[in-house]
Amino acid sequence: MPHVYETDGPAIYRESFSIIRREAELERFSEEEEPVAVRMIHAAGLVELASHIHFRGDAVNRARQALERGAPILCDARMVSEGITRKRLPADNAIICTLHDERVPGLARDMANTRSAAAVELWRPYLDGAVVAIGNAPTALFHLLNMLEAPDCPRPAAIIGCPVGFVGAAESKEALWESAPVPCCIVRGRLGGSAVTVAAINAIADRAE
């Protein structure tokens, strides 16, 4: 006997978001933050993620305004850069991931750091007013925060900082939250990941669900 299941894509999205809004605790989010949080929860498949999502400094509006001005999106991993839906971007924004740049291995050796951190060094020409999307590597977020301690380092418009994992992920996000060099969004603890980060960027880029 054939399986019976929902085959209408838009209907699946509508019902998914309806379930999230029934089951997740979303009351503390602002009108602008709530759709972004819902998208992030949807990407994780975990309504409990709501309690881990935090926004600071009007991050959603600041990131959205930057994208509308044509700011680039700086990504720590290909899983992030490839997941962003181009047609949702308001200004044909450049999506930049420097992780596989040929200079990165040598730079990582010189820095005695990871390739992910070295790749962030190559963001300097693009950093001013950019939207940063870190969904994989805690070392990328830590190194960016170290860079931003320098007064002459260009400032991004906002950081979506949701690296995932067991070593440094929770700590890097707490460091971002505590230092707050620019408006930001984090997923506290070990949770996060590329899909969650991409969901936040896509929701910020286009309000349509």
DSSP assignment string, 42-110: HHHT-GGGGGGEEEESSHHHHHHHHHHTT--EEESSHHHHHHS-GGG-TT---EE--TT-TTHHHHHHH
Per-domain residue ranges of the chain: 52-205
| pLDDT class of 208 with cuts at 50, 70, 90 | confident
Measure the CA–CA gap between 60 and 161, rounded to whole angstroms: 13
The neighbour count for residue 147, using CB atoms within 10 Å, is 17
Flag whether pLDDT at 209 surpasses 90: no
What would the two tokens of residue 163 be? 């690296």
Is there a catalytic annotation at residue 143?
no
Q: Which candidate in 42, 54, 100, 143 is catalytic? A: 42
Give me the CATH topology for the region 52-205: Rossmann fold (3.40.50)
Distance CA 132, CA 176 (A): 12
Name the pLDDT band for 104 (thresholds 50, 70, 90).
Answer: very high
pLDDT at 22 over 90: yes
